[in-house]
Amino acid sequence: MSMIFFACVVRVRDGLPLSASTDFYHTQDFLEWKRRLKTLGLRLAQYPGRGSAGGRDFSIHFSSFGDVACMAICSCQCPAAMAFCFLETLWWEFTASYDTTCIGLASRPYAFLEFDSIIQKMKWHFNYVSSSQMESSLEKIHEELKLQPPVVLTLEDTDVANGVMNGHTPMPLEPAPNFRMEPVTALGILSLILNIMCAALNLIRGVHLAEHSLQVAHEEIGNILAFLVPFVACIFQDPGSWFCWLAHTS
């Protein structure tokens, strides 16, 4: 009889799944527990090395050390010592196969796909090998659980809190500040009028000089530019004043 239904290896700091066993169970209840396992995987950094969350038909166990954690969905009849013995064995096998650099650089889910078959074989071994063949290992884990009991989580701890799924916390939405343009002051209007007058005067003088200098030496071009440049400068000197004046008068 199967007692360990699903197992996976995740990265503790962000809950990224690195490898997982093949899933042959598709009942609604089991899928709900997989969702709970995924949610719990995002919060592993908050809990100590070992923990469990139990329900009517299934239970979740996890064991973490360093940046790697192993998690499993088991039958409620599965002894805790057996579940944690499986997870500890899985942890040693994974960390012996991959160094911390590879684990830290993993950027996509299930980056260590080739390890899935090892999880599957190990899961089969613990499901179908008699307890007497693992007696020494189970006894060791049993004593450790007596000295340091795993943290017991409630089902609420595995629920998806608002904004927790995928590791994102919703940012509070604040209304955007409402800016209104202030009316142009009398001094601003005076400055705008003077700029317009100076620009017009420079334009008239520049055009008049150009009309009488078309056949004159090239040095006269400098004189023409001497009037046209101030005209352009007046136009672009205070574009904000132009805009504000137009908005005020419209």
The reported pLDDT for the residue numbered 4 is 94
pLDDT digits (tens, 9 = 90+) for 84-102: 999 999 999 999 999 999 9
Classify residue 175: in a domain, yes or no: no
The reported pLDDT for the residue numbered 158 is 76
| Runs of H (alpha helix) within the chain | 28-41, 80-97, 100-105, 116-128, 135-147, 186-211, 220-237, 239-249
Q: Is the per-residue pLDDT at 163 higher than 50?
A: no
Q: 168: burial class by Cβ within 10 Å (0-12, 13-18, 19+)?
A: exposed
Extract the tokens encoding 124: 């089969």
Same domain, 79 and 148: yes
Same domain, 147 and 190: no
Q: How far apart are CA 42 and CA 37, in angstroms?
A: 9
State mean pLDDT over 28-54: 92
Q: In which band, very low, low, confident or very high, does the pLDDT at 78 lie, cut at 50, 70 and 90?
A: very high
Average pLDDT taken over every residue of the chain: 80
| More reliable by pLDDT, 59 or 205 | 59
| More reliable by pLDDT, 172 or 100 | 100
Same domain, 116 and 194: no
Residue recorded with tokens 């009991």: 149
Classify residue 89: in a domain, yes or no: yes
Full domain range(s) for residue 198:
186-236
